[in-house]
Amino acid sequence: MADQSGTQPFSFNCEGGLVLNRSTFIMQPGQALELTNFEPDIEGGYKRINGFKKHINQVVPFTADTTEAVLMVALFNKFTLAARGTKIFSSASTTITLKISASDTMSGSGTINAKDTSAFSSSGTIQINSEIFTYTGKTETSFTGVTRATSSTSAAAHAATDVVSETWTERDTGRTSAGRYQFERFNFDGNEKIIMVDGANAPVVFNTSLAATDVSESSVSGSQFVVSFKNHMFYAGKSSTPQEVVFSQPFDEDAFNSGSGAGSIKVDDTVTGLKVFRDDLFIFCENRIFKLTGSSSSDFAVTAVTRDIGCVNGFTIQEFAGDLIFLGPDGLRTIAGTARIGDVELGTISSNVQPLFKENLVDSASFTSIVIPDKTQYRIFFSKDGTEPATIGVICVLKGTGFEFSQLKGIKPNCTDTTVETGEVIPIHGGFDGFVYRQDTGDTFDGTLIFAKYRSPDLTFGDPGIRKYMQRVNINYAPETTIDADMFVRYDYESAQSIRPAAYPLDSLNVAGIYGSSKYGTASYGGPSQPIVRKSVEGSGFAVALRVEDGATETGPYSLKGFQLEYQLGARR
């Protein structure tokens, strides 16, 4: 047996996120030099992200060209609204609750059990994966009178939780030269509504029946930004009056009589976004930020928050973890309320990943963002020219009192929305391919494998001048289901002259099954849910780095919690 008397341990938790602005010598061991398609986990560690899949199985109809991107997605009154080309459409989506076998006969009297059919038409056409069905009736949780394999599709097996969606219905048209939309859900008169602007046409309002009504006031036609504040509707971003903010009368988004409380405000910079935060309306501009206070036209007042920093893209402004977050010229910033009511402070938060922003900021006009609130997570996507697999972005997670970051790769949204329905967070995005997708679900990017990579700093254990002979690596990780990932041990800053041992496989054998989340046949009863796996390793060097990679096959999410390295000291060089 080998002599282990001189073996020394070195342990660290996976925490701190991606760090690109420090020398590897001063990085903390738990930070990451590479962290792609992992997310800092609010429960500790780095978790391989979930994928995305179609939220609506049918493509949003194009109006002039198949290359048209989806310009807007919004969840409203259980409907999914989407804009493409010159039109706005609606659809409905839910999931089936019982699997359907390919051999199940449905020839006019079939039944499909579903989670919630309330937004669906009383009869019509639905789609699950690639199979199209017709139905003649519905209950709250089922479609009835179902005929399957219609429209030249074939009967196929469908799993419980597969998405079922209905055909898109046209709701508004004639929106010539529309750009990306912004929208606001509001209720001025006891009725839920949603208002949308596209930078070129009249704002349009939908009620819960999805009847469309244009705002008739010419002074707000062509607005890019809209927000409800103190029972007024505020509009901004017209190309002809880029420094003006126009607001309606109270409780009426389409009334603009100045004697009844409507008005306008001018600032000395081009407006790039509007956002309500706490009891104020923030007016973001290219080089400045203003704050509007008050409750009516009689006491509305504008003050400068800063005249030195602006927001470069209004689609990056989100309320996130009790703050407003936005993209400034130097990366992500927040506007955080201080202890003194009415005071604010500006802070930069993305210095750890500043190189990613510096390399991509020139294309910031095409960026978009989304918030996943149950993970206190903000995602910004650098959706510029190029293929979806090559598109990158940044994940920002609030953990404790600080922010941690990682890199996204392989998601390219043009527009986004997030709502919470009966406690369920639903983050969706519209793609450049005409489809609407749901994020943070599934194990692939709609069928494309997810490539994920973690790399530790180069670890010298306090002395880069002494050789370390590695004995083993103990990995603490938490797989949710079957995984297929590999660990690599690399030496001396991955020098070409250093030894490069073969991959050490990670798997989910002897992992405890969790009822309701684990897949049948893939978990081991009584196994640990956060196993510590010991891997004997080979090689030596003056510095050691660990890598974990997956993506060769489809694999479920897992969290890397921490590592312990066992080594023996060699000679000093």
What is each CA distance from 312 to 4, 475, 496, in whole angstroms?
A: 58, 42, 42
221, with CB counted inside 10 A (0-12, 13-18, 19+), is middle
pLDDT digits (tens, 9 = 90+) for 354-375: 999 999 999 999 999 999 999 9
The percentage of the chain sitting over the pLDDT mark of 90, rounded to a whole number, equals 87
With contact defined as beta carbons under 8 Å apart, do 426 and 439 qualify? no
Q: Quick one: which of 249, 174, 182 has its CA closest to 217? A: 249
Where b means 16+ CB within 10 Å and e means fewer, 304-337 reads ebbeebbbbbbbbbbebbebbbbbbeebbbbbbb
Widest distance between CA atoms in the chain: 92
Please give the average per-residue pLDDT across 539-556, as a whole number. Answer: 95
With contact defined as beta carbons under 8 Å apart, do 201 and 191 qualify? no
With contact defined as beta carbons under 8 Å apart, do 372 and 440 qualify? yes
Where b means 16+ CB within 10 Å and e means fewer, 128-165 reads bbebbbbbeebeeebbeebbbeeeeeebeebeeebbbb
Q: Of 343 and 19, which is predicted with more confidence?
A: 19
Q: Is 50 helix (H, G, I), strand (E, B) or coil?
A: coil
Q: Quick one: which of 439, 446, 457, 482 has its CA closest to 546? A: 457
Give the pLDDT band of residue 109 (cuts 50, 70, 90). very high
Q: Is 352 helix (H, G, I), strand (E, B) or coil?
A: helix
- Average pLDDT over the chain reads 93
Q: Is 502 helix (H, G, I), strand (E, B) or coil?
A: coil
pLDDT digits (tens, 9 = 90+) for 127-137: 999 999 999 99
Residue 321 clears pLDDT 60, i.e. is over it? yes
Listed in sequence order, the residues at least 6 apart from 418 whose beta carbon sits closer than 8 Å to its beta carbon are 370, 371, 372, 373, 425, 426, 427, 428
Predicted pLDDT of residue 525: 41
Predicted pLDDT of residue 348: 84
Listed in sequence order, the residues at least 6 apart from 209 whose beta carbon sits closer than 8 Å to its beta carbon are none
- The enclosing H or E element of 356 equals helix 354-360
Please give the average per-residue pLDDT across 184-203, as a whole number. Answer: 98
560, with CB counted inside 10 A (0-12, 13-18, 19+), is buried
The percentage of the chain sitting over the pLDDT mark of 70, rounded to a whole number, equals 94
d(C-alpha 322, C-alpha 332), whole Å: 15
Residue 251 clears pLDDT 60, i.e. is over it? yes
Give the pLDDT band of residue 266 (cuts 50, 70, 90). very high
Predicted pLDDT of residue 509: 57
Phi-psi region of 304 (alpha: psi -120 to 50; beta: other; left: phi over 0): beta
Q: Quick one: which of 556, 552, 559 has its CA closest to 531? A: 559
pLDDT digits (tens, 9 = 90+) for 59-107: 999 999 999 999 999 999 999 999 999 999 999 999 999 999 999 999 9
pLDDT digits (tens, 9 = 90+) for 157-174: 999 999 999 999 999 999
Predicted pLDDT of residue 541: 96
Give the pLDDT band of residue 286 (cuts 50, 70, 90). very high
Please give the average per-residue pLDDT across 45-65, as a whole number. Answer: 97
Residue 515 clears pLDDT 50, i.e. is over it? no
CA atoms within 13 A on the CB side of 494: 11
Listed in sequence order, the residues at least 6 apart from 105 whose beta carbon sits closer than 8 Å to its beta carbon are none
Predicted pLDDT of residue 401: 80
With contact defined as beta carbons under 8 Å apart, do 128 and 100 qualify? yes
Phi-psi region of 17 (alpha: psi -120 to 50; beta: other; left: phi over 0): left
Predicted pLDDT of residue 481: 83
